[in-house]
A and B are shown apart, each in its own frame.
Chain A
Amino acid sequence: MFGELSGTRSSDVILNAARALLRPLRNFNSPHSSGPERPMLTAEQFQEELTLLGLSGKEYGPEEYAGALGAYLGISIAIHSIPDLHYPELSYRLASSGRMGEIRYSEELGIAVIIVPESLPPLVSVLTIFHELGHLAAGDLLIEPNEELDNATPKGPETSTFATIHIKRGKRLARGFPFVRENLREREANLRASYALTAGCLGSLSPYALKMHDIL
């Protein structure tokens, strides 16, 4: 039994090693490959992103954040509120996709469009827009659908770092690469929205913004 088990393990090890060796060759023409593992975005890292956008210590809303992000990425970002009470089919479409809002991005044209239903309460609407902008900041929209990477074996819940995709093209605000797993990308976009909302409301009162001026 032990021999069989160890034999299985050895063959697994050999197969995994072979796969690992061949992976760079398979991904030679692919714009994506595995990036370094990283944890979820922290409030401190988000504060650094705000500094790059010139919004550190300032009060801002989704429009200002979108403008600054668009200027940083060199793209145009438009936010549209759709009167979904007049067009119930839009609500059905968003409901079937399980989303509160939608972002469409064209790298060639340098345009991103965010669509949110008008019926959302103000706080949820703001969080939804920040969530979609978070995907843009993280570079999630630069990922092309890739079956192999999407089906990558997830790590256990006890791990604090997660696999990322190395993206060679496009510009993003985040320092780290986007996560491989979509649910993690969604979770980070939610976190980014939460950070953006509080930082934008607090402005110069944000303890993270003040810490950058209180180093010693």
Chain B
Amino acid sequence: MSVAQHQALILAGLCLAGSIFLGIVTLSSRRTWFGVFAALNLFLGAVLFGAQVVFGLSGWRSEIMAALLSELPPVLLISGVCLAQAGALPWSGTLPAEAAAQHPWLRATLRSAPLFLLLGWGLAAVVGLAWPSPAMQAYAPAPQQFVLFKWLISAVEGFYSGLAASGFAAASRSSAATLALRLKNIAFSLALFCLTLIAVESAIVAGVRLWGTDVSRRDTVGALLTIEVYLAALCFVALVLGLGLRYTPAIAATFLRQLHTSWLPAQERFESLKWRAVTSGHARGAIKASHHIAEAARLRRLSRADTEKALATVQLIATMRDPLV
């Protein structure tokens, strides 16, 4: 088994464990669209990494294809998270994250994530397939086109996952959120920050394989691949933790929606009755009496509270004697 296959085996194992864990979480009452999406994504990652171990790789083009396919799960995951933060996913609610709502430029940037991530992935595919390189031979020296291939994906992935991580970090600092929501946002921020670090690590590995000497290359790449495994494990743990922490609001939005619409007719009815009372002259006597009482209260130097009580009494008597309805 080659070093790349060994690395793929570890990552496939982590992805499988993560997908099983998330599957259990999503099968329970804590099911969310993101839980299902992340579980399927991790399962796809496990299948892709597993395929590299089982079928092996023959030729540089097949190595490029394997590298490209293993980048798809993070590309999909980051795209989904960015769109959710921009409030662009109809099934997750149309509300964006608070930071995205405050800054329209941030919202537009988050919305553009799938486009640029797939563009970066597509450009990398063109470069990789036009000028094949040993993408899956971790310790082998790499040509310049490999660095270009790797950096095209890593740069976009690193940028958007970093942006999404900072969005969750900002949400975790908000005083308006509850403790459970703060912890949830911290967990998601950590998971996406790990993805950013993996993208940076991946770009450094490509650089080391191009510019490093034989000795330094082996040591540095070995250390970086170990870090990658730890970061991937931390990312999965944080994702599971974030999905496990669920907060149910004390007041349901459906109830509020009913409230918003139900008291508008009541308000309009009040408005209509009030002006009918004024224009039809029903209230004229009460208004005059109120005016006289207010004047009398002023002369007698009554307190404001007592004046209001007197006025309310007159209005109540007028209403009881001559009700409108």
Contact = CB atoms under 8 A, between A and B. Distances in A.
B249 A51 contact: no
Interface in A34-89: 42-44, 47-48, 51-52, 56-58, 83, 85-86, 88
A24 B291 CA distance: 55
Nearest to B275: A95
Given A198-B259, A213-B174, A215-B171, A47 B95 contact: yes
Nearest to B32: A216
A195 interface: yes
Contacts of B260: 43, 191, 194-195, 198
A210 B291 contact: no
Max chain A C-beta neighbours (<10 A), residue from B92, B95, B250, B257: B95
B96 A210 contact: no
A47 B253 CA distance: 12
Contacts of A198: 256, 259-260
Interface in B221-253: 242-243, 247, 249-253
B29 interface: no
Interface in A178-216: 190-191, 194-195, 198, 202, 204-216
Main secondary structure of the interface of A (DSSP, over half): helix
Interface string B132-147: 0000000000000000
A213 B291 contact: no
A96 interface: yes
A154 interface: no
B34 to A, nearest CB: 4
B279 A95 contact: yes
Contacts of A57: 174-177
A197 to B, nearest CB: 9
Given A44-B94, A44-B95, A216 B290 contact: no
B317 to A, nearest CB: 15
A207 B268 CA distance: 26
Interface in B255-304: 256-257, 259-261, 263-264, 267-268, 270-271, 274-275, 278-279, 283-284, 287-288, 290-291, 294
Contact of A214 (B184, B250, B270): B184
A194 B263 contact: yes
B176 A214 contact: no
Contacts of A142: none
Nearest to A54: B102
Contacts of B251: 202, 205-207
B95 to A, nearest CB: 5
Interface string B145-171: 000000000000000000000001001
A216 to B, nearest CB: 4
Contact of A215 (B92, B290, B311): B92
A207 B176 contact: no
Nearest to B94: A44
Contacts of A213: 97-98, 171, 174, 176-177, 181-182, 185
B182 to A, nearest CB: 8
Contacts of B79: none
13 contacts: A51-B101, A51-B102, A85-B290, A88-B284, A91-B287, A100-B271, A204-B178, A208-B95, A210-B176, A211-B249, A212-B97, A213-B182, A216-B81
Interface of B: 32, 34, 81, 84-85, 92-98, 101-102, 168, 171, 174-178, 181-182, 184-185, 188, 242-243, 247, 249-253, 256-257, 259-261, 263-264, 267-268, 270-271, 274-275, 278-279, 283-284, 287-288, 290-291, 294, 311
Closest 6 CB pairs of A and B: A57-B176, A213-B177, A207-B249, A216-B34, A95-B278, A51-B101
Interface of A: 42-44, 47-48, 51-52, 56-58, 83, 85-86, 88, 91-92, 94-96, 98, 100, 124, 127, 190-191, 194-195, 198, 202, 204-216
